[in-house]
């Protein structure tokens, strides 16, 4: 027997097998069981959500030899003929290929005649919005007062194009787009029944690619099985769909957070070796920005399945909210402009560079392309130390022969941990990891740090390795880093940064309250200070 595609093999044959359309199933089931049937139904919704399938199940329920009910037997001749697409009293019409009024009149000529086999004659008109105005006019009278043995089921993806006169004669049901969870759950069920090896990442990617359509999800699943040689794995599905891995999205956002244009372009160059779909890559970055924004505004919210909670939380603390919203807005607009770019890669790079070019630059931020520490809601970033004046040569301490010579304004004493972290000029999660540590000990070869237990989730990816490299740059290649998770009585740079920010906020509010002009406005115009509108000016 020839192979049958999954979308046809697993087409629902009963109402309770339909996924995600409970509101329609409940209404139709009650109507069938209580004999309150309408003469015309209109099913609307995007492609692949079950419009035609619902119509066929309804036709089977109306013509089952055991009687009209919401649970057709599925084994009688009428039920089997409907399932096999050869039931003579179910007339399926594609409106896109029968737009002329003469064809519509020819179709309606047989309406008065009784059904051949079944109890009802069911007319299923798919994509009914493609009918011409004359065809709709020919349909109106019959649609309003059909014979008792005829039921009309109309289906469309664009109900706005259906005349109001037709809409008013039909009982309308809007089928919902399926969620990613509903699609991935159904795909998992099918793969288990088919005994095909798979993983959760692959199902999540296929559900996202289906974009709310179960039929599209099943078609992608068929393609993934063929592409993976009988298996459905995340890596193969990513390659098939042209999507990039989560690590690339993290790398791009890490470079954006640090305002490192060179690092950003290097990440794009590395991605280019995988020949990605840049439109999909931009969508992945936007989804990551969305998860970070949720984490900022709704503390404790769990990110979606494909995202690392620790990294999302780290970005939420590192990137100011206004910058994050700007990145998202520019990326969203960039999706429209990407097809107009000379090449997809150049368009993608310009969207990313635009995020840096239009990012607000305060006095405490460096120029784009130089390692910078964003200010704002930065729980893990160390405060920038004050520049120390260079001492005369005679007063300078002798540097270790193994460590590089200290430049003016740099701190190479790890016991002064806050200034030491600022001198390393780390970015991303490595900066947050350093900001949640305090100095433990330094014996000339081993630097021991105490990591606040609340920050132990920051030891992910390359963060600890990058911190180790930063330590070696300042203390010499012989330096070895050891991090122990232990509460410390010392204040971490992250807590110091939050405390200083709060103090500056309080000072700014006090200064506004005591300002003569503000007090005069309050006195004469009954004005009030809005707390959220007062922000301290970043120090120069």
pLDDT digits (tens, 9 = 90+) for 479-504: 889 999 888 888 899 888 888 888 88
The pLDDT, as a whole number, for residue 272 is 85
**Mean of the per-residue pLDDT values for the chain?**
83
Strands 437-442 and 446-451: antiparallel
Non-local (6+) Cβ contacts of 234 within 8 A are 199, 201, 202, 205
Residue 226 pLDDT > 60 = yes
Residue 353 pLDDT > 90 = yes
Decide: 184 and 206 in contact? Cβ < 8 Å.
yes
408-421: average pLDDT = 84
> 196-217, pLDDT tens digit by residue?
998 888 888 888 888 889 999 9
- Strand, helix or coil for residue 173: strand
Q: What percent of the chain has pLDDT over 90?
A: 29
Residue position matching structure tokens 């109001």: 164
Q: How confident is the model at residue 426 (pLDDT cuts 50, 70, 90)?
A: confident
40-44: average pLDDT = 93
Q: Minimum mean pLDDT among 273-287, 400-414, 458-472: which range?
A: 400-414
Instruction: Give the separation between CA 78 and CA 87, rounded to whole angstroms.
Output: 7
Reply yes or no on domain 180-241 having CATH 1.10.8.60. Answer: yes
Decide: 37 and 151 in contact? Cβ < 8 Å.
yes
Residue 411 pLDDT > 80 = yes
Q: Which of 340, 216, 235, 327 is nearest to 282 (CA)?
A: 327
Decide: 306 and 250 in contact? Cβ < 8 Å.
no
Q: Where are the beta strands (DSSP E) in 344-466?
A: 437-442, 446-451
Residue position matching structure tokens 């059909």: 146
Cα–Cα–Cα angle for 520, 524, 530, rounded to 5 degrees: 70
Q: How many helices (H) and strands (E) does the chain have?
A: 22, 8
The pLDDT, as a whole number, for residue 369 is 44
The pLDDT, as a whole number, for residue 243 is 67
Q: Minimum mean pLDDT among 57-66, 192-201, 244-253, 393-402: which range?
A: 393-402
Distances 484 to 380, 438, 494 between C-alpha atoms, Å: 17, 10, 17
Domain positions in the chain are 6-174, 180-241, 247-357, 417-490, 499-535
> 356-407, pLDDT tens digit by residue?
998 876 534 444 444 444 444 333 333 443 333 334 333 333 434 445 555 6
446-465: average pLDDT = 85
DSSP secondary structure letter of residue 120: S
The pLDDT, as a whole number, for residue 144 is 84
The pLDDT, as a whole number, for residue 244 is 62
Non-local (6+) Cβ contacts of 367 within 8 A are 361
The pLDDT, as a whole number, for residue 273 is 81
Topology of domain 6-174, CATH: Rossmann fold (3.40.50)
The pLDDT, as a whole number, for residue 180 is 87
Could you tell me what percentage of the chain is helix, strand and coil, using 3-state DSSP and rounding each to the nearest 5?
50, 10, 40
What tokens were used for 494? 């992250």
Residue 30 pLDDT > 90 = yes
DSSP secondary structure letter of residue 456: G
The larger pLDDT score, comparing residue 475 to residue 537, is at 475
The pLDDT, as a whole number, for residue 406 is 57
Decide: 357 and 533 in contact? Cβ < 8 Å.
no
3: left (phi over 0), alpha (psi -120 to 50) or beta: beta
CATH number of 247-357: 1.20.272.10
**What kind of architecture, by CATH, is found in domain 417-490?**
2-Layer Sandwich (3.30)
The larger pLDDT score, comparing residue 394 to residue 248, is at 248
Instruction: Give the separation between CA 233 and CA 203, rounded to whole angstroms.
Output: 8
The pLDDT, as a whole number, for residue 352 is 93
The pLDDT, as a whole number, for residue 245 is 62
Residue 175 pLDDT > 80 = yes
Instruction: Give the separation between CA 376 and CA 205, rounded to whole angstroms.
Output: 34
Non-local (6+) Cβ contacts of 158 within 8 A are 129
Q: Which of 381, 404, 415 is nearest to 496 (CA)?
A: 381
The pLDDT, as a whole number, for residue 390 is 37
The pLDDT, as a whole number, for residue 384 is 40
The pLDDT, as a whole number, for residue 124 is 92
Backbone angles phi and psi of 444, in degrees to 5? 100, -25
């Amino acid at each position: 027997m020839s192979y049958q595609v999954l979308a046809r093999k697993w087409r629902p044959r009963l109402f309770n097998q339909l996924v995600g359309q409970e509101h329609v199933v409940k209404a139709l089931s009650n109507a069938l069981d209580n004999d309150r049937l309408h003469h015309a139904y209109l099913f609307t919704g995007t492609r692949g959500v079950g419009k035609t399938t619902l119509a066929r199940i309804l036709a089977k329920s109306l013509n089952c030899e055991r009687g009209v009910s919401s649970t057709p037997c599925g084994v009688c001749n009428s039920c089997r003929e409907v399932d096999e697409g050869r039931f003579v009293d179910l007339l399926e019409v594609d409106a896109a290929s029968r737009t002329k009024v003469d064809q519509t009149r020819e179709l309606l000529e047989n309406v008065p005649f009784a059904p051949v086999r079944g109890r009802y004659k069911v007319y299923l008109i798919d994509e009914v919005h493609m009918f011409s105005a004359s065809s709709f006019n020919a349909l109106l009278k019959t649609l309003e007062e059909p014979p008792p043995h005829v039921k009309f089921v109309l289906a469309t993806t664009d109900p706005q194009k259906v005349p109001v006169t037709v809409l008013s004669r039909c009982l309308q049901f809007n089928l919902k787009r399926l969620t990613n969870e509903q699609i991935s759950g159904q795909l998992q069920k099918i793969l288990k029944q088919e005994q095909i090896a798979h993983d959760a990442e692959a199902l999540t990617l296929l559900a996202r690619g289906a974009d709310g359509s179960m039929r599209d999800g099943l078609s992608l699943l068929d393609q993934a099985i063929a592409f993976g040689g009988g298996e459905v794995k995340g890596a193969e599905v990513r390659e098939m769909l042209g999507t990039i891995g989560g690590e690339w999205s993290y790398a791009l956002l890490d470079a954006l957070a640090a305002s490192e244009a060179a690092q950003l372009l290097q990440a794009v160059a590395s991605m280019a070796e995988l020949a990605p779909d840049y439109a999909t890559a931009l969508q992945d970055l936007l989804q990551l920005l969305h998860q970070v924004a949720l984490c900022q505004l709704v503390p404790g919210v769990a990110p979606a399945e494909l995202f690392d909670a620790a990294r999302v939380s780290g970005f939420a603390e590192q990137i100011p909210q206004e910058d994050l919203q700007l990145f998202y807005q520019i990326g969203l607009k960039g999706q429209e402009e990407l097809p107009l770019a000379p090449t997809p890669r150049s368009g993608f790079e310009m969207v990313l560079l635009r995020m840096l070019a239009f990012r607000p630059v305060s006095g405490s931020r460096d120029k784009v392309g130089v390692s910078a520490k964003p200010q704002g809601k930065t729980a893990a970033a160390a405060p920038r130390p004050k520049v120390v004046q260079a001492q005369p040569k005679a007063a300078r301490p002798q540097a270790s022969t193994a460590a590089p010579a200290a430049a003016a304004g740099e701190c190479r004493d790890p016991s002064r941990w806050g200034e030491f972290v600022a001198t390393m000029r780390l970015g991303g999660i490595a900066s947050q990891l350093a900001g949640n540590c305090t100095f433990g000990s330094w014996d000339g070869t081993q630097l021991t740090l105490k990591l606040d237990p609340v920050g132990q989730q920051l030891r992910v990816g390359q963060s600890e390795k990058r911190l180790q490299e930063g330590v070696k740059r300042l203390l010499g290649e012989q330096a070895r880093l050891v991090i122990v998770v232990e509460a410390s009585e010392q204040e971490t740079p992250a807590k110091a940064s939050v405390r200083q920010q709060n103090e500056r906020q309080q000072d700014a509010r006090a200064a506004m309250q005591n300002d003569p002009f503000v007090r005069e406005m309050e006195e004469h115009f009954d004005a009030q200070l809005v707390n959220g509108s007062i922000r301290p000016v970043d120090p120069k």
